[in-house]
Amino acid sequence: MDNDNKDDEDVEPENANTELDGDAESEDEPEAEPEDEPVEVDSWQSFQAHIDSLVVNEKCDKPIRLLDERRQTIVQRVRQIQRDTPKGFSERAMSQMSKIDQQLELSSTRLGQLVRFGNELVTNIRVANERRELNRRVFETTQQRDMKRMLDGENIEAMAKFDNIKARWTELNEINEPMLLWDQIEEQKKRIAAIMDRKDQMIASCQQEIDRMNAKYEFDRQRQAADLCCLVERIDNQVETLKESYKYHLEMLRHTVEDERHTFSLTADEKWRTFFNALNTNFEEKSKLVRVREQFYSLQLQLLQDSQDELTKQTRVRLEKECERLELELRRTRDNVLMNSEKLDYNYQVLQRRNDENTIITNQQKRRVARLYETVARTRRNYKQVFHSGRRTIMKLTTEIQQLHGSISEMEAKAMHTRNINREKFNRVWNINYEEITGLLARIFEIDRILHEQQLVMPWKRPNIHIENINKPVEKRVNNAMDRIERRFGKLPKQYGGSGYTASEDEEKHRGPMQELPPETARLMRNILRKLADRGGFLIEERLLKILKPYSEKEQTMVRIDNIFAALRIRNLDHVLELTKVFEPYTYCPTCQPAGLSPMKCAEVFLKDQRESRSLKLGDVNNPDQALLKGKNDGKTFLVKGHVNKETCSNHYLVMEPALVLHAMNVFTKQKHKQIYGSSSESSLETELIQFNDKEIQAFWRQFTNIFPDSKTHLWKTLEHGLNHYVEVLKMRVQYDAEVVFLRRQNRELRHLLQKFTV
């Protein structure tokens, strides 16, 4: 309890002190300004009075009183020092600085002193308080130690006495005498009372000590309160004075600054004024000088002007003359210029008009161009449309054509079918008729023979009537179907002897060595062959061409021709000859016909060819043989013609238009084809048709009417007449015979009846 209280007591004043110190310092620092004598004195006096009263108070400690005395002396000394401030050093230093700096220095020193003083004044309380605390602690510790020592001593003493009493109690146990015992007990009681007294005394002293401490605490508390009051007052005063002094110094500083500014402005004014004055005087002097100079110059100028006037007069006269001349010239040139300008104007106008026209024209052109563009676009569009429509129509037409082709082929098939049917019918009818007529003829011949032998009893001779049947049946063709197939596959029918065809045997006779050929044909052939090699490339495999590249031209031609021949199925010299024959009409002699193969001829060749093919294709159905013959004839004539040509210019190379090579080749292949497979489909078709006309048929049938001579018919008529009579007679006879038979049977029956009756 005690301890805590003390602690609290210790703690609180210090805390308060420190806090207040802090406040004071924090307030002191930002401001800092000089002192104000009367105010300070006042405040100090009040302080002193207060502190004196405190000091006078007898309860104050001795050191504090000393402290206060010291403080007073310090204050006096400080005041003394401030009063007679050493003027030597400070003024010397100040004179070097500006007034503001001086003032600042002064203020800072003064204020620093003041602040330090104030600080000391405030901290003094703290120091005093600490000293007091320290003293208290020392005093308390000594007091405590004394007290403790006393208590310890008393304790030991009391313990000794207590032990004594305790020892006595054991002794008392042994005493049996009551009186003695009582006495002893009384003594013990006295002793105990003494101890108790002693204890009471101790307690009392302790109580006293506590009282003292309480009193001390109370006193300390009061003093602390007083101290705090004092401190607060001091701080307030200090703050006040510091504020005042700071304000004062600030004011002073401001004044000095103002003064400084003022003096500075004055000096500056002065400086500038002298400067301006000097400037003015200088200026006046200069102006005088200038004036004198001006006069001098004006005189000079006058002189110069006079001389110049003379000069100008002369020159003016001269110049005027020149001027007149120039004026004349000028007038002339002006006229010229006027003329020119008019011309130019005219030209300009013309040009302008032309320009206008040009613009109009260009506009028109532009318009036209635009129109053209439009038309171009339109035509393009039209073209596109037409193109599209054309394509569409083409497509349509192709489809139509295809359809038509289909229908044609159908029609053809139908036609073929009907043709076959017709033919069959025809054949059947024909055969029936023919058989009938032959039967009739045979019967006639039989009857005639019978007539001759039986009636006339004449030897009958068969009349030689031979009418050939023009419509022979065609059953051979049917047998040929197999052959045809075989022929397609390239085998020769056995009919022809198995090897080659019949014609080959005949041709073999003509085959001979190359040398036998006429030289011109050989030359022509070489030419043709080379052309073929060049033109017939499409017949050769592409790979071969690649392989051939490195070889010489001759070798290349060789291989190429070989290949082409293989493709064309040319196997021997005869074929080659045939080829040349085909090619001859397309050749010409460059020396004799320098113009080359005339276009007319070319056209002719083409047209002929085409007609040929067309005639072949369309071919008169009724007489295909004729057409064929005709074509053959044509070819022959043509060949002959070529031959004639060739003969005309012997010893000349014959040349051929390369364009015609292919054509010729085409012709050759066709020919070849025809040769090998006969007249193919067309010929087969021809055989199926009726190969004779109405007249022939009529003639054929009319033959039969005139087959018997008139005598024979007459004979037959008479014979018929007689025989008819004879038939009549015979018929009568038959009748009579029948009547006789009947009558006989009737007679027999009647006889029978009679017999019955007779019976």
**What DSSP string runs through 116-131?**
HHHHHHHHHHHHHHHH
Q: How many CA atoms lie within 13 A of 303 on its CB side?
A: 5
Pattern 135-174, other proteins, x by CB under 8 A: --x-------------------------------------
Other Cβ atoms within 10 Å of 596 Cβ, number = 12
Return the residue of 32, 54, 60, 67 that touches other proteins, per CB under 8 A: 67
Binding part of the chain for other proteins, among 63-71, 363-371, 600-608, 616-624 by CB under 8 A, reads: 63-71
Told to check if 96 binds other proteins by CB under 8 A, we report no
Give whichever of 249 and 560 is closer to other proteins, judged by the CB atom.
249
Give the bridge partners for 655, in sequence order.
588
Among 32, 114, 128, 524, binds other proteins (CB under 8 A): 128
Going by C-alpha positions, the residue among 215, 231, 200, 191 that lies closest to residue 20 is 231
Q: Does residue number 516 form part of the binding site for other proteins (CB under 8 A)? A: no
The nearer residue to other proteins, 76 or 300, going by C-beta atoms, is 76
Candidate list 133, 244, 578, 657; residue touching other proteins; CB under 8 A: 133
Fill in the DSSP letter of residue 678. Answer: T
Structure tokens at 433: 């008729």
Nearest distance from C-beta of residue 300 to other proteins, angstroms: 57
Rounded to the nearest 5 percent, the helix, strand and coil shares of the chain are 85, 0, 15
Residue 14 or 260 having the CB closest to other proteins: 14
How far is residue 320's CA from residue 626's CA, in Å, rounded to a whole number? 127
CB of 122 to other proteins, least distance (A): 12
Contact 648, 562 (CB under 8 A): no
Give, as ranges, the residues between 682 and 701 that touch other proteins (CB under 8 A).
none
Q: Contact between 597 and other proteins (CB under 8 A)?
A: no
Shortest separation between residue 104's beta carbon and other proteins, angstroms: 12
Nearer to other proteins, 131 or 575 (CB): 131
Distance between CA 125 and CA 50 in Å, rounded?
A: 13
22/512 with CB nearer other proteins: 22
- Residue positions counted in the chain: 759
Q: Which is nearer to other proteins, 10 or 657 (CB)?
A: 10
Number of residues forming the site for other proteins (CB under 8 A): 28
Secondary structure, 3-state, 539-601? HCCHHHHHHHCCCCHHHHHHHHHHHHHHHHCCCCHHHHHHHHHHHHHHEECCCCCCCCCCHHH
Q: How far is the CB of 243 from other proteins (least distance, A)?
A: 13
- Minimum CB separation of residue 77 from other proteins in Å reads 7
**Which of 119, 118, 120, 128 lies closest to 228, judged by CA?**
128
Shortest reach from residue 275's CB to other proteins, in Å: 29
CB 112 → other proteins: shortest distance, Å?
A: 9
| CA pair distance 605, 281, nearest whole angstrom | 136
Q: Which one, 137 or 381, has the nearer CB to other proteins?
A: 137
Q: Of 108-127, which residues contact other proteins (CB under 8 A)?
A: 123-124, 127
Checking DSSP bridges between strand 655-656 and strand 587-588, what pairing results, if any?
antiparallel
Query: Which whole-number Å values give the CA distances from 377 to 364, 370, 371, 747, in the listed order?
Result: 19, 10, 9, 129
Residue 34's Cβ-side half-sphere holds a number of Cα atoms within 13 Å equal to 18
| 63 makes contact with other proteins (CB under 8 A) | yes
By the rule CB under 8 A, 26 interacts with other proteins: yes
Cβ 573 vs Cβ 521: under 8 Å: no
Distances (CA, A) of 400 to 5, 406, 412: 138, 9, 17
261 near other proteins, judged by CB under 8 A:
no
List, in sequence order, every beta strand (DSSP E) within 498-540: none
Residue 206: CB minimum distance to other proteins, A: 20
CA distances from 462 to 119, 438, 452, 457, 468 (A): 196, 14, 11, 15, 17
Q: Which stretch binds other proteins (CB under 8 A): 8-16, 33-41, 330-338, 615-623?
A: 8-16
CB closer to other proteins out of 71 and 423: 71
Residue 350 binding other proteins, by CB under 8 A: no
Closer Cβ to other proteins, 11 or 339, answer by number: 11
Least distance in Å: CB of 61 to other proteins?
11
* 3-state SS, residue 176: coil
Which CB atom, from 74 or from 662, has the smaller least distance to other proteins?
74
Instruction: Give residue for tokens 């310090």.
Output: 74
68-76, 382-390, 435-443, 649-657 -> range binding other proteins (CB under 8 A): 68-76
Are 564 and 536 in contact by the 8 Å Cβ rule? The answer is yes
Note the residues at the interface with other proteins (CB under 8 A). Answer: 1, 4, 7-8, 10-12, 14-15, 18, 26-27, 30, 63, 67, 70, 73-74, 77, 123-124, 127-128, 130-131, 133-134, 137
